[in-house]
Structure 1
Amino acid sequence: MLKKIFIDGENGTTGLKIRSQLDNHPGVEILRIDEKYKKDPAAKRDLMAKADISILCLPDAAAREAVLIAQETATRIIDASSCHRTAENWTYGLPELCTNQRQRIANARLVANPGCFATAAILLLRPLIQHQLIDRDAQISIHAVSGYSGGGSTMIEKHKAPGRTGDMVFYGLELAHKHLPEIISYSGLKNPPIFLPSVGNFYQGMVVMIPLHQINFSSALKILQTLTSYYADEPFVTVSQIMIGSTIDTQVKAGSNTIFFHVLADHSFYKTGRLVLLAKLDNLGKGAATAAIQNMNIMLALPENQGITY
């Protein structure tokens, strides 16, 4: 029997991506709400009552309201907004986080989909902090650039508007980006990192970079070995060898759920001890829509890769 899925906010950027993926998913049936009732609590409640899982693709305030409506039903929730990622009684929907995370997701009623930037930063930092290759109290900087689809319909319209100038927009310059709480909570860092996100003049794709200083050659090898070992059995994580003098662009296969990790060193590494940890992913794939589908599959005891692009 097909599992029933309700996407609340299916016409938004993330919702459309999830819907298009699930249209070809062999294990589920999508419950659709009439456009004229999309803000009607009673109509939502009726669909949630029929749904095995309701996926919320809504702004934060609307997501909070939807969760209250869902409490009147037995539906399980995957929330793609940012408002429940560190909330009590919610499970963080990042299966690769640690050994037991898949089981926690499988048993959860309330799952918070991770942020796109946070997914990369946490998965780079957590293994290295656990293995004491980065100190928990280290002062970390994170630099990132994302495609403009990450900002939803408003940002997409701005980037497509005639007469737009500039190829890069830096934001979050108050150093209080909404992804910081989850990065701190799940990476193991004690101190808030300096996080400098930006948006490029391209639709989707993302690169996240973390520079490290005073790393000797032995530690550099341990960093690579730790990342490789930690994610050895993860189908959606690829770890490359140490790269020197490389060029990496922001583009990945559209809709891909794979995250690519690189360890970059300069030509004078033996003197400088400088490394850069780099992650590349699709902000609409592993950073949003396909991550939600991965969580959905786990919650429904379906094959984890079903309906997902690598």
Structure 2
Amino acid sequence: MTVRVFIDGAVGTTGLEIRERLESRRDIALITLDEGRRKDDAARAQAINDADVVILCLPDDAARGAVAMIANDRTRVIDASTAHRIADGWTYGLAELEPDQADRIASARFVSNPGCYPTGFLALVRPLVREGLLGADALLSVNATSGYSGGGKAMVAEFEGGEANTAFRPYALALSHKHAPEMRQHAGLVHAPIFQPAVARAYRGMVVQVPLHLAQLTRPASLTDVAAVLAGAYDGGRVVRFAHEAAIVVRVEDDANTDRMTLRVTGNAATGQALLIATLDNLGKGAAGAAVQNLNIMAGLDPVAGLTL
């Protein structure tokens, strides 16, 4: 079976990466528009309706507009924008979020690709909430750093053109980042976490950290107990893995150029403090790799086909 795929917005950072991953695959037939037609709404609408699956790599409003162009009951959608991540009628495209999440994605018509930062946060937090070890009313914070490719072409140009005269830059200082509602809803939390993202002078890669006081947990538990919950949640998984070995150094580039995500639990047993850590590639499991994984699942293919693990 060959799946016809149209990437709407294939000239951006994520879209280009998805196209590169798919164009050599024999089980995928890419529908493409030349430069003169890619902004022609009639041509786009035709391509969208000819596709079995359309992958949207567009700004939010444009993504909503693209969905409105669908004039059939067959074309399926993977939206890489933030437009539909907490929208009714859309299935969240983090296959590891729940034990049956991949099955939900497989049967869904509309799938929202997760944000890169929420992917790390949710992988760390959701199992603890689901198991009742962390209360839904927990007040959490998340500190995360991404490679500059996560900011798209403008940020790439800024860092590579010499305008960004810095090695590390926190942003979203008003604590109103658009990923926070996504984190809250899909973790099953009452309150959105305090989210402090930053960009580093590395092209790709990401580290996400969630600090915890063990006293926050709903029952007495050790660092080993927290680690056991996370290890159990991802046991046997091919994309998300739990690292049992002690972390000496964790780098933003640890899982760069891959589509995997690595989770760790570190901390200080004497002070009752834990640190949950996820490393991933902001363009891999955080964006293009996740879209390809979702496409594979929706098409009934090997979920890790075309991924680098």
Length-normalised TM-score, structure 2: 0.95
The letter of the residue matching 2:15 is G
Structure 1 pair 2–25 and aligned structure 2 pair: CA distance change class (3 A): same
Deviation string, structure 1 residues 166-187 (Cα, Å, up to 9, x no partner):
1111111111111111111111
Alignment match, 1:165: 165
The Cα of 1:241 is off from its aligned counterpart by 2.1
Alignment match, 1:261: 263
Distance (Å, rounded) in 2 between the aligned partners of 1:78 and 1:69: 14
Alignment match, 1:308: 307
Secondary structure of 2:226 counterpart: helix
Alignment match, 1:283: 282
* Counterpart mapping for 1:92-171 below 5 A: 92-171=92-171
Alignment match, 2:272: 273
Aligned-CA RMSD value = 1.6
The Cα of 1:219 is off from its aligned counterpart by 2.5
Structure 1 pair 161–12 and aligned structure 2 pair: CA distance change class (3 A): same
Distance (Å, rounded) in 1 between the aligned partners of 2:172 and 2:184: 16
Structure 1 pair 253–243 and aligned structure 2 pair: CA distance change class (3 A): closer
Aligned length: 306
Deviation string, structure 1 residues 224-246 (Cα, Å, up to 9, x no partner):
111111111321111112636x2
Distance (Å, rounded) in 2 between the aligned partners of 1:116 and 1:208: 10
Identify the range of structure 1 (37-46 vs 109-118) with the bigger mean alpha-carbon deviation. Answer: 37-46
Do the aligned partners of 1:205 and 1:252 also contact (CA within 8 Å) in 2? yes
Alignment counterpart, residue 229 of structure 2, candidates 206, 226, 229: 226
Percent identity, please.
Answer: 42
Do the aligned partners of 2:21 and 2:306 also contact (CA within 8 Å) in 1? yes
Do the aligned partners of 2:223 and 2:266 also contact (CA within 8 Å) in 1? no
Secondary structure of 1:36 counterpart: coil
The letter of the residue matching 1:307 is G
Alignment match, 1:240: 243
Secondary structure of 2:96 counterpart: helix
The letter of the residue matching 1:68 is A
Secondary structure of 2:111 counterpart: strand
Structure 1 pair 109–166 and aligned structure 2 pair: CA distance change class (3 A): same
Distance (Å, rounded) in 2 between the aligned partners of 1:231 and 1:166: 37
Do the aligned partners of 2:214 and 2:222 also contact (CA within 8 Å) in 1? no
* Counterpart mapping for 1:30-109 below 5 A: 30-71=30-71, 74-109=74-109
Deviation string, structure 1 residues 53-80 (Cα, Å, up to 9, x no partner):
0000111121111111124573111000
The letter of the residue matching 1:221 is T
Distance (Å, rounded) in 2 between the aligned partners of 1:242 and 1:308: 25
Do the aligned partners of 1:93 and 1:112 also contact (CA within 8 Å) in 2? yes
Do the aligned partners of 1:128 and 1:226 also contact (CA within 8 Å) in 2? yes
Deviation string, structure 1 residues 137-183 (Cα, Å, up to 9, x no partner):
11101000000100111111111123531111111111111111111
Distance (Å, rounded) in 1 between the aligned partners of 2:39 and 2:157: 23
Distance (Å, rounded) in 2 between the aligned partners of 1:197 and 1:110: 28
The Cα of 1:26 is off from its aligned counterpart by 2.9
The letter of the residue matching 1:224 is A
Distance (Å, rounded) in 2 between the aligned partners of 1:306 and 1:70: 27
Do the aligned partners of 1:242 and 1:264 also contact (CA within 8 Å) in 2? no
1:192 corresponds to 2:195: no
Distance (Å, rounded) in 2 between the aligned partners of 1:177 and 1:218: 32
Distance (Å, rounded) in 1 between the aligned partners of 2:186 and 2:245: 25
Distance (Å, rounded) in 1 between the aligned partners of 2:181 and 2:162: 36
Structure 1 pair 250–63 and aligned structure 2 pair: CA distance change class (3 A): same
The letter of the residue matching 2:65 is E
The Cα of 1:11 is off from its aligned counterpart by 1.0
Show structure 2 runs of 5+ residues with no match: none
